[in-house]
Amino acid sequence: MPIYEYQAVDSNQACSLCRGGFERLQRMADDPLRVCPDCGAPVRRLISAPAVGGSQSGFDDRAKRAGFHKLQRLGKGEYEKKY
Ligand SMILES: [Zn+2]
């Protein structure tokens, strides 16, 4: 399953999760998220590289068990450092 990256449309309405962006593991057939699962603010889907989804699928499962939001934010930070 690919990982999709989302970020708040308006950072003034965003919570700590969606302001910096977060990732969701979803099936291709699933509808994209329209709002943040935490605060309900509108979010948009970002373009992400397919290779990232494959390498992080195991990470995503561990993140859910051990504190979903914090670990997903860490993953996003690492991703950004590549640029
Ligand atoms: Zn939010």
pLDDT tens digits, 17-51: 999 999 999 988 888 999 999 999 999 999 755 55
d(CA 81, CA 63): 20
d(CA 26, CA 32): 8
For ligand 1, an ion, list residues with CB under 5 A: 15, 17-18, 36, 38-39, 41
CA torsion angle for 72, 77, 81, 83 (degrees, to 10)?
A: 80
Q: How far is the CA of 83 from the centre of ligand 1 (A)?
A: 24
d(CA 49, CA 54): 10
Q: How far is the CA of 76 from the centre of ligand 1 (A)?
A: 15
Res 38: pLDDT: 95
Note if the pTM is more than 0.75.
no
Res 9: pLDDT: 97
Question: 3-state class of 81 per DSSP?
Answer: helix
